[in-house]
Amino acid sequence: MSTTRPIGEAVGNASSVAARGKRDSTLSVAIVGVTGAVGQEFLNVLAQRQFPVGELRLLASARSAGKQVDYNGKTYTVEELTADRFADVDLALFSAGGSISKEYGPIAVQAGAVVVDNSSAFRMVDDVPLIVPEVNAEAIEAAGIGLGIDEKPGIIANPNCSTIIMMVAVTPLHRAAGVKRMVVSTYQAASGAGAAAMQELETQTREVLAGKSGKELTDDIFGLQYAFNLFSHNSPMQDNGYNQEEMKMVHETHKIWGFDASGVDKKDWPAIACTCVRVPVMRAHAESINLEFVKPMDEVLAKSLLKSAPGVSIIDDRANNRFPMPLDASGMDDVFVGRIRNDVSRAWRDGAGHGVELFVCGDQIRKGAALNAVQIAELLV
């Protein structure tokens, strides 16, 4: 069984930029896809965490060029994304879709920038680190990517939002006892499909409450009634009967935990199965996670480990039936964990001690996207 590496801390400060060989204590930052939901959250997180932004370049499609965006008390004009926009950029945060990342990510790197990409374009590329800062920060250093004089520009990938939320909650337990098998069911909010999906959920809800149904409903994003309904995740189906979102969680987990480079036979990798569902929640995903471990693990140990885990908050009040909800996580940095309990199916069969279940909620736009990317950027400085 492969073991994961020591935890990385997502800590950065302006003075360390100069210490590692940068020209000054601030960075030239470009945001690609700034007018989208995640792009807007990039700005919020950068400001809230006082990231050392010097020059700020806001990039988007031609139709968004010219829009005015406020950041830290200053108004910026959105520029059209073109190949020459990355000159003198230190850090480029991308959230504009895979095709844009594939075209412009390498251009930004060639211009000398470190790219943190929020799309799926580079996640499973061998030499691209796939990072959750609380889990595998050291993979960035191993790749030699950074802003210092002895480091190189390159691409760092943000995992899938559901993977990030799951990894923050499960990794402390995996480190202690080794996950043998994991079965995950996700309940994914409209935020995972972007600002247009969030708007469509609001519009449909108003329409249904007004008595509309069927073809009368606005359904441009999913082609289905979303309000007061749920359905299998809308990503493409694969030949094995799982959809693309589900298989992302499987493959990305193995890479983040280092099994793809561990030399461990694949039959000894953690077995992972996922079912991803879209639910009519505006923001923040929820996940039900069933875990089987190599070494002993029970609810008492699991709760103790999670209480001290970075990026985790516990809501686990059995007496009042109070556990994590998407509303708890919305707008918050932490992943919320509750329903921490021994797996009764294992207890029934062979006694408790190796199986635990969790219920997890995390803000998809924040920790599942923008915050994770900015935490990665903080590791670079």
Q: Which residues are marked as active site?
A: 161, 285
- Fill in the DSSP letter of residue 83: G
Question: Rg of the Cα trace of the chain?
Answer: 21
- Fill in the DSSP letter of residue 145: B
Residue 24, helix vs strand vs coil: coil
CB 200 within 8 A of CB 180: no
H/E element, 74: strand 74-77
DSSP 284-297: -EEEEEEEEESS--
Nearest residue to 168 (alpha-carbon basis) of 363, 17, 348: 363
Helix 244-256 to helix 161-177 angle (10° resolution) is 40
Q: What are phi and psi of 32, to 5 degrees?
A: -100, 120
Residue 78, helix vs strand vs coil: coil
Return the sign of the alpha-carbon dihedral for residues 208, 211, 214, 215: negative
CB 381 within 8 A of CB 12: yes
